[in-house]
């Protein structure tokens, strides 16, 4: 969710600095590029080598440094400030807060802060009495007055042995605040989305299964798009070779329809939107042979099947405020069958792909869909890549959220 974002992390000298490597790790894991500037005293609490390794950038600490040729070079703080999409000072000590509020510039962190044109976040950390002190409070007020965002210190055990307010916010809370900042304007911010994707494999014996040709592409594209629009996404996929890289998507891999149903029911109750893009097998073998069935065995001449649960159909019965979207893949009379499914499964909308169109449906990179909201006429779209189709689908869903 922070993919492509440049984050400048300023570390000042407090014991909470020992948590910053973890903060860097979380930021880079979310896709951000991180550069670090630290004060001299910060380098006593956390190793610049650790930070440089984790951020994959040299750490800036002094106004000057020796370059590869042994020449004295200038650390360009203006460039650092301009590079950043966001600067976070964590931990911000009482001393650094006071200097920031005063516009002092006697270290590289402070000049970088003064040169930065991006939003500034501050995560203070200090002993409880220093945090309570009117000077600290008024410095924080001044900084908030400049439009900076203060992530308040948290309560707990402090390095002094005392307990109270003053601990730097946990790295995960800092990352959450940053994510919130970047995703708030996005249309799916605050929404939880559950998507099923891919085929299901219904085992016959330890090596054979009943499956289908679903690639999972459409469901994965819908998940990626929802995450880019700010949603928290849970993607529950049957077997597919596709990888999921967006930090906003939590991927659960399953194999059978029963496993898919179990995973869905675990997360459905508090989701806002559910999309059933999986090609769930309608039937599964009644018995699972524990050993590979031998050629010519009488048991292979027919396989008794039992019906699988209709995952989305069951959700249609228990749904409260969730917006349910199903898929219909039809070879003929698509609109009629899709309308029937929409009503029968108590969905809010359905996406119709017909196998009548060249390049649409299973295994293709492209798809041609009609989107039908309950009680409305279908909206048809031309043949497009599945990621473009995902945008069309989300734009339709957004009309109703």
In whole angstroms, give the CA distance from residue 216 to residue 202.
17
Among 5, 33, 77, 341, binds ligand C5P (CB under 6 A): 341
Instruction: Identify residues 246-265 at the interface with ligand C5P (CB under 6 A).
Output: 257
311 binds ligand C5P (CB under 6 A): yes
Among 289, 328, 372, 389, binds ligand C5P (CB under 6 A): 328
Decide: 277 and 255 in contact? Cβ < 8 Å: no
Segment near ligand C5P (CB under 6 A); pick from 134-142, 230-238, 272-280, 390-398:
272-280
> Residues touching ligand C5P: how many (CB under 6 A)?
14
List alpha helices for 171-308, DSSP H. 171-183, 217-228, 257-267
Q: How far is CA 130 from CA 92, 150, 169, in A?
A: 12, 16, 16
In the numeric block, which tokens belong to residue 325?
Answer: 């979207």
Minimum Å gap between C-beta 344 and ligand C5P is: 8
Give the count of beta carbons closer than 10 Å to the beta carbon of residue 321.
6
Minimum Å gap between C-beta 398 and ligand C5P is: 19
Minimum Å gap between C-beta 21 and ligand C5P is: 43
In whole angstroms, give the CA distance from residue 291 to residue 58.
57
Among 127, 205, 224, 310, binds ligand C5P (CB under 6 A): 310
Minimum Å gap between C-beta 302 and ligand C5P is: 22
**Radius of gyration of the chain measured on its C-alpha atoms:** 27
Positive or negative: CA dihedral 383, 386, 388, 394: positive
Among 9, 278, 289, 372, binds ligand C5P (CB under 6 A): 278
Give the count of beta carbons closer than 10 Å to the beta carbon of residue 163.
12
- Residue among 205 and 310 whose Cβ is closer to ligand C5P: 310
In whole angstroms, give the CA distance from residue 113 to residue 106.
11
Q: How far is CA 193 from CA 98, 182, 252, 273, 303, in A?
A: 43, 19, 13, 5, 37
* Catalytic residue numbers, as ranges: 212
Instruction: Identify residues 184-213 at the interface with ligand C5P (CB under 6 A).
Output: 196
Instruction: Identify residues 351-370 at the interface with ligand C5P (CB under 6 A).
Output: none
- Residue among 272 and 282 whose Cβ is closer to ligand C5P: 282
- Residue among 151 and 218 whose Cβ is closer to ligand C5P: 218
- Residue among 127 and 202 whose Cβ is closer to ligand C5P: 202
Q: What is the binding site for ligand C5P (CB under 6 A)?
A: 196, 257, 276, 278, 280, 282, 308, 310-312, 326-328, 341
């Amino acid at each position: 969710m922070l993919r492509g974002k440049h984050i400048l992390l300023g570390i000042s000298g407090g014991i909470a600095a020992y948590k910053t490597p973890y903060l860097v790790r979380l930021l880079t894991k979310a896709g951000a590029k991180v550069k670090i500037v630290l004060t001299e005293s910060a380098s006593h609490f956390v190793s610049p080598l650790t930070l440089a390794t984790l951020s994959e950038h040299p750490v800036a600490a002094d106004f000057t440094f020796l370059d590869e040729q042994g020449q004295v070079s200038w650390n360009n703080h203006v460039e650092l400030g301009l590079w950043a999409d966001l600067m976070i000072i964590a931990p911000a000590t009482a001393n650094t807060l006071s200097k920031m509020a005063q516009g002092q510039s006697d270290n590289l962190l402070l000049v970088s802060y003064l040169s930065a044109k991006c939003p500034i976040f501050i995560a203070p950390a200090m002993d409880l009495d220093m945090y309570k002190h009117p000077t600290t409070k008024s410095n924080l007020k001044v900084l908030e007055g400049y439009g900076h965002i203060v992530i308040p210190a948290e309560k707990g055990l402090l390095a002094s042995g005392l307990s109270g307010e003053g601990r730097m916010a946990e790295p995960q809370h800092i990352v959450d605040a940053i994510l919130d900042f970047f995703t708030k304007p996005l249309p799916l911010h605050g929404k939880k989305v559950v998507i099923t994707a891919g085929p299901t494999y219904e085992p016959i014996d330890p090596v054979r299964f009943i499956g289908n040709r679903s690639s999972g592409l459409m469901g994965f594209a819908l998940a990626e798009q929802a995450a880019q629009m700010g949603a928290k996404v849970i993607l529950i996929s049957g077997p597919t070779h596709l990888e999921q890289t967006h930090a906003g998507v939590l991927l659960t891999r399953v194999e059978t329809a029963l496993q898919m149903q179990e995973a869905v029911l675990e997360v459905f109750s508090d989701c806002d939107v559910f999309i059933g893009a999986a090609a769930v097998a309608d039937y599964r073998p009644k018995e699972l042979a524990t050993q590979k069935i031998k050629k010519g065995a009488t048991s292979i001449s027919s396989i008794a099947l039992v019906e699988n649960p209709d995952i989305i159909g069951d959700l249609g019965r228990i749904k409260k405020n969730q917006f349910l979207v199903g898929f219909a893949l039809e070879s003929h009379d698509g609109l009629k069958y899709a309308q029937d499914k929409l009503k029968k499964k108590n969905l809010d909308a359905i996406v119709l792909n017909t196998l009548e169109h060249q390049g649409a449906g299973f295994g293709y990179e492209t798809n041609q869909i009609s989107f039908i909201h309950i009680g409305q006429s279908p909206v048809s779209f031309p043949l497009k890549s599945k990621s473009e189709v995902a945008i069309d689908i989300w734009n339709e869903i957004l009309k109703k959220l």
